A and B are shown apart, each in its own frame.
Chain A
Amino acid sequence: MSGEHTVETTGAGRTRASRYSWAEASLGAVVSAFGLIIFWEIAGLDAGPTYARIGPRVFPAGVATGLLLIGGGLMASAFLRPQARPMPDLDLPALLWVGNGLLAMILLIDQAGFVFAAAALFAGVARAFGSRGSIRVLGIGLTLALACQFGFSYGLGVELPWGLLSFLN
């Protein structure tokens, strides 16, 4: 029930609405592209023994057809009803900070270990939500990460990579 669903009638609202129809058209394009990728991928499949009658291609072909129809429909509606809904305002730096946190997690977990990866992720997300006290945030992140590392391996028997902290294990 947030305000983003209301259609704005101001001048600013109109530019946003046109931005939205582009977004909707791209959504349609992406959906159609998925359909094409599936058709291209299943072309090489062996139809299987004839007694099965319905090979591995039939169902994916149905899904791909559906994707193409839906994608086409979205693109059509983007241009037929362009003022349908304005885009919500988005805070790009905040998005990037969440992305950085996840990227740090992916890059660090195997080599540096879970604790550092999780602390970096925590700090990145906290920064995205406007947290400034970096030492305190890092401290909370490290404590949470250590608690998870020990709790999961000793409490639940789920191993998380120790990495640089393997001397603690």
Chain B
Amino acid sequence: MEPLYSLLHGFSVALQPTNLFWALLGVTLGTGIGVLPGIGPALTVALLLPVTYTLPPESAFIMFAGILYGGMYGGSTTSILLNTPGESGSIVTAVEGNLMARRGRGGAALATAAIGSFVAGTIGTIGLTFFAPVMVEIGRNFGAAEYFALMVLAFTTVSALLGSSVLRGLASLFFGLALGLIGLDVQTGQARLTFGVRPLLDGIDVVVLAVGLFAVGETFYAAARNRFDREEIVAVRGSIWMTREDWSRSWKPWLRGSALGFPLGCVPAGGTEIPTFLSYMIEKRLSKRKDEFGQGAIEGVAGPEAANNAAAAGVLVPLLSLGLPTSSTTAIMLVAFQQYGLQPGPLLFTNEAGLVWGMIASLYIGNLMLLVLNLPLIGLWVRLLTIPKPFLYGGILVFASIGTYTLNNSVVDLILLFLIGTAGFAMRVLGVPVAPAVIGLILGPLAETQFRRALAIAQGDWTVFLTSPLSAALLAAAALVVAAPMIWRAAMGRSLAANTATPA
């Protein structure tokens, strides 16, 4: 029961009054940005990076983890009351939850989302507590070749699973990898891809990329679509106390959502979106009231909302135990670790036990805070939804430019922000996901380091990636992830063409 002992130690860190304050600030901020459409946890953590480096690392990570969890809670409120998902993890909720709200069951939808998030968040955090140490043990056997192979697998799953096609996901990933090449080569000190522009020698800051893609690109897109997309807020009707029937229809989806979300969050599957879709499909199939799906079935809110919170806990497992981010928020959290000179991975659990376990313990506390914030205090958050869009997006861009300008007090970063924002808008229009680019920029340089280290150790022998069984298996899985959907689509396309050819 060593994890329990460590967790107890973690609670002694997390329960310090200052850290309780940072946890409360994190979950409140997280709920707020989750509720507001157009901004999410990844952008918020990126914007906070420059101002948090004066904080002790425990406090900063307790706050970041609170933002990650809070975003999942807040996103469901927007999805239910507005027909727009507040967060990518609550797209499914925007369907069934909004229909419930329209039929006067908004209170019950909010309640099953909040309680389900609490149940799943707690189960997920328990999973994190016991599973992360196991992953640490596995990680100890990883050499440079295995790490490189693992990163390749993360690259391909993220690219293949997000966005509308594998090619678009890969285009985004390689765009990020290319941006990651800009700057000084670590081993030889030569400038790469800087085109003679001096400020580029330091490389592209991840804050600029994340803020450009998420805030500026999103604002461009929202402005361009504002005239065409109608949004209306549905007032909360119905009691926020669930009836006996609501409870009996919710508890199984909560547990199933948790069981689905946590493992899928742990493996590199692109974060919280996939588990919510799977949970929705499963609940629809298992429900005795299939006819209610598409008209506001409570199972369709309870399951996915549980799944996204459990997945939010799951993504912390590879981040903390292997240093492998699998979602854009955790990718930016990895940058925060680097900013403190810390390297997540097996060593972090021994060298920084107070930090790791303090953060994990704070998640239990944060979940409890979030339940209170999102159920009795829900009325406060609903008011956030009434901020007029011109002011909301105007404010978002003002904060985005503050965060970018203050990195180096240089207007060059603002110009880059504009350019990357334009690229982000184009990606949005063309259905190219942005998260792989963020992950590519952050993991690319790390992957190159491991790649060159592995080859240096093997004295230039390229077969090193295949002779290690673990590395070979990971690379094979990566190849499968990319190839399978393409083959599948080609086969489907052919049968589709065969079917449509005759009537035409």
| Interface residues of A, Cβ cutoff 8 Å to B | 1-2, 5, 23-24, 27, 31, 34, 37-38, 41-42, 45-46, 48-49, 52-56, 58-60, 63-64, 66-67, 70-71, 73-74, 77, 81, 85, 87-92, 94-95, 97-99, 101-103, 105-106, 109-110, 114, 117-118, 121-123, 125-131, 137, 140-141, 144-145, 148, 152, 156-161
Contacts and interface: CB of A to CB of B under 8 A. Distances in A.
A92 to B, nearest CB: 8
A119 B227 CA distance: 24
B181 interface: yes
A125 B215 CA distance: 12
Please provide the 9 A-B residue pairs with the shortest distance between their CB atoms, ordered closest to farther: A126-B390, A131-B390, A122-B394, A56-B185, A129-B390, A53-B460, A128-B223, A94-B223, A125-B394
A125 B219 contact: yes
A117 B493 CA distance: 52
Nearest to B193: A41
A53 B459 contact: yes
A91 B228 contact: yes
A151 B397 CA distance: 17
A34 B188 contact: no
Contacts of B219: 98, 125
A129 B392 CA distance: 10
A44 B175 CA distance: 22
Given A52-B452, A98-B219, A125-B393, 7 more contacts: A56-B192, A67-B178, A98-B223, A102-B417, A121-B394, A125-B397, A129-B394
Contact of B190 (A2, A56, A59): A56
Interface string B162-204: 0011011011001101100100010110101101000000000
B187 A94 contact: no
A130 to B, nearest CB: 7
Contact of A123 (B170, B388, B394, B406): B394
Interface in B245-296: none
Nearest to A80: B493
Contacts of B224: 90-92, 94-95
A148 B398 contact: yes
Contacts of B164: 5, 85
A130 B95 contact: no
B143 interface: no
A36 to B, nearest CB: 11
Contacts of A48: 187-188, 190
A129 B175 CA distance: 30
B488 to A, nearest CB: 15
Contacts of B456: 52-54
Contacts of B104: none
A162 to B, nearest CB: 12
Nearest to A119: B398
B167 A102 contact: no
B192 A130 contact: no
Given A102-B418, A105-B414, A125-B397, A1 B95 contact: yes
Contacts of A97: 223
Contacts of A152: 402, 406
B174 A67 contact: yes
A110 B167 contact: no
Contacts of B134: none
A60, A89, A92: which has the most chain B beta carbons within 10 Å? A60
Contacts of B388: 129, 131
A95 B394 CA distance: 13
Contact count band on B: 35 or more
10 contacts: A1-B94, A1-B95, A41-B193, A45-B185, A46-B190, A67-B178, A85-B431, A95-B224, A125-B390, A158-B406
A129 B394 CA distance: 9
B228 A89 contact: yes
Interface in B435-486: 444, 448, 451-452, 455-456, 459-460
Given A56-B187, A130-B226, A27 B395 contact: no
A30 to B, nearest CB: 9
B82 to A, nearest CB: 13
A138 to B, nearest CB: 11
A24 B402 contact: no
Contacts of B415: 106
B224 to A, nearest CB: 4
Contacts of A122: 394-395, 397-398
A31 B175 contact: yes
A23 B411 contact: no
A100 B192 CA distance: 32
A58 B406 CA distance: 35
B383 interface: no
Contacts of B401: 102, 105, 109, 117-118, 121
B130 interface: no
A122 B389 CA distance: 12
B394 A74 contact: no
B223 A54 contact: no
Contacts of A145: 398
A66 B170 contact: yes
A158 B216 CA distance: 22
Given A105-B401, A156-B51, A53 B390 contact: no
B50 interface: yes
B493 A52 contact: no
B185, B195, B229 pick with most chain A CB within 10 angstroms: B185
Contact of B167 (A46, A73, A130, A148): A73
A77 B167 contact: yes
A123 B95 CA distance: 34
Nearest to B226: A129
B107 interface: no
B78 to A, nearest CB: 13
A18 to B, nearest CB: 15
B32 to A, nearest CB: 16
